Amino acid sequence: ARMALGKRNLVLVGLMGAGKSAIGKIVAADLGIPFVDSDHEIERVSRMTIPELFQAYGEPEFRQLEKRVIGRLLESGPRVLSTGGGAFVNAETRDAIKANSLSLWLDADLDTLWERVIKRDNRPLLKTENPKKTLEDLMIARYPLYAEADLRVKSRDVKKDVIASEVIA
């Protein structure tokens, strides 16, 4: 898998709770290439948390910052990059990813995503009356865009190593 990647990055896309960071770390270690998480990098450069950024600047500005950060992270491959759930939904960010990387959609069902996201209170988009319904709406709206990824792996409710080995395979 490392040879097949060449200089390209492996970019993990999918909804919040799909396991992009957890699985990305395992995959990167197995392939012997660096791992980077776009949300962590955004927080590092802005010195603000994702909820603070949404609160202070709103989603459109967050998307611009996300696009710039991801554009820069994509420059020096190969890497495994996990992206925030909305990154691949943004046309410009998606085009940048598709230009020099292999994209992989970690596709999980609603209940699996929900079980994972409720463990942490760090998703500004889910601050709604009915967050599970919001998550489902995002799932439906984003489905056709995630489907543009080069590869798709089901992120089932099994050990992350199992999913990581499916990604590598």
Known binding-site residues for substrate equal 39, 63, 85, 142
Distance CA 81, CA 104 (A): 10
Strand-strand pairing, 151-154 and 101-107: parallel
Distance CA 119, CA 141 (A): 24
Nearer to ligand S3P, 36 or 50 (CB): 50
Going by the annotation, the residues of the binding site for ATP are 17-22, 123
CB of 113 to ligand S3P, least distance (A): 10
Residue 106, strand partner residues: 153
Query: Which residues in the 42-61 window bind ligand S3P by CB under 6 A?
Result: 50
- In the chain, what is the straight-line distance between the N-terminal and C-terminal CA atoms, in Å? 7
Q: Which of 11, 19, 35, 39 binds ligand S3P (CB under 6 A)?
A: 39
Distance CA 34, CA 24 (A): 10
For residues 110 to 139, the per-residue mask of contacts with ligand S3P, x marking binding by CB under 6 A and - elsewhere, is -------------xxx--------------
Interface with ligand S3P by CB under 6 A: which residues? 16, 39, 50, 84-86, 123-125
